[in-house]
Amino acid sequence: MKIKMILIITSLLIAVHYSLTTPCLAQQITLSLDPPIVQTHIRPGKSILVAYTVENSGDPTPLQFLIRPFTPQGQEGALSVGDTLEGPILFSLENTDVAFEKPFFFKSDEKRQAVVKIQIPEGVPEGDYYYILLAETVPSFSVGGQTTSIASAAVGSPLLINVTQTGITEAKGTIAEFSIKPTYTFTFGKRIFRIVDTGIPLPLVFSIRNAGNTLIDPQGTIKVRAGKKTTSYDILPQHILSNSQRIVKINPPQTDVPSNQTAHLSGLQLGKNTITASVSFGENTPTLLAQTDCIGIPIRLFTLSFVVLVLCGGVVVFASKHKPLKEE
């Protein structure tokens, strides 16, 4: 009797719970924005139009377009996006049915174009200005008495604007760091010896500093020379924004390399390995050079060989001590 009463009470509580709960519908948000990045040169007093296309491959959702300034953060390609639109450059949407920061209902499998007008007033100082166009979902809303929960999501397209009267930009790039992470390091006199294990890929860090007011695009190679053998790696083309520092990557990129490293160099040889980098920033710019070296030793192989020898020696000693005596 008690068990039956408990089951009845439990059933009533479950029924009350579901009758008082408003159903919540999960949303799948899949947005894409084209072009993924825009780079342009504009003279003061001029304006241009840039057409963006946003596509919704997920569920229906309210959406809005935003323009925000951004600044590079750290040296791994991160961006810090501002909360409000600031700066001397003027933006407007030329669409008749869409305006900045005005939500509209975006259906599934729909495409919507945003035609952005960029205007540079007279007197704007020459240099780079960085913004990002965002297509951003709007928080939850109510439809037919049901609460539709929409996760916050946004896609963005960086807008790199160079304000210039002549179209000529000055590259002021320097090598900020060119270093390896050896297995062991020791100093003898005034010399530093870097010991690396030839059986393990060697982490390399190569970062470039842009001290100018316009972005630069480094191009060059990294070479590993050991004896008569030379292995070359091309630098991956990438933007380094004004007054920032960034770690460059090799081309093709290595997927297993963390963001704070350039590459993992493999195939190092026994003995001295010399690692060099040469980089420039376009036509009529000087080539910058950097170099470091290391001594390659098959440490793992030596360690394994030593362990095998010790084990073999131990077996021989053990066998000799327990050798059976001959009967007389």
Interval 160-186: pLDDT, tens: 999 999 878 888 999 999 999 998 888
Statement to judge: residues 103 and 210 lie in one domain: no
Which residue type occupies 305?
A: S
Statement to judge: residues 190 and 283 lie in one domain: yes
In a domain, 82, yes or no: yes
pLDDT at 284: 83
pLDDT at 317: 66
Helix (H, G, I), strand (E, B) or coil at 104: strand
Alpha-helix residue ranges (DSSP H) falling in the chain: 2-20, 299-321
Statement to judge: residues 37 and 120 lie in one domain: yes
In a domain, 62, yes or no: yes
Residue in 84, 69, 161, 174 with CA at minimum distance from that of residue 124: 161
pLDDT at 13: 43
pLDDT at 269 over 60: yes
pLDDT at 209 over 60: yes
Statement to judge: residues 183 and 102 lie in one domain: no
pLDDT at 14 over 50: no
Statement to judge: residues 132 and 178 lie in one domain: no
Statement to judge: residues 159 and 192 lie in one domain: no
pLDDT at 71: 94
Statement to judge: residues 179 and 94 lie in one domain: no
pLDDT at 9: 42
CATH number of the domain bearing residue 97: 2.60.40.10
pLDDT at 285: 87
In a domain, 22, yes or no: no
pLDDT at 15: 44
pLDDT level of residue 300 (50, 70, 90 thresholds)? low
Statement to judge: residues 130 and 202 lie in one domain: no
Statement to judge: residues 126 and 179 lie in one domain: no
Residue 191 is part of which domain span? Answer: 173-301
**Residue 299 DSSP code:** H
Question: What mean pLDDT do residues 40-54 have?
Answer: 95
pLDDT level of residue 283 (50, 70, 90 thresholds)? confident
Statement to judge: residues 73 and 132 lie in one domain: yes
Statement to judge: residues 128 and 220 lie in one domain: no
pLDDT level of residue 35 (50, 70, 90 thresholds)? very high
In a domain, 53, yes or no: yes
pLDDT at 23 over 90: no
Statement to judge: residues 42 and 159 lie in one domain: yes
Q: How many domains does the chain have?
A: 2
| Cα–Cα distance measured from residue 148 to residue 24, given in angstroms and rounded to the nearest whole number | 6
Q: pTM value?
A: 0.78
Residues 221/277, Cβ–Cβ less than 8 Å: yes
Q: 131: burial class by Cβ within 10 Å (0-12, 13-18, 19+)?
A: buried
- Least confidently predicted of 78-82, 105-109, 171-175, 297-301: 297-301
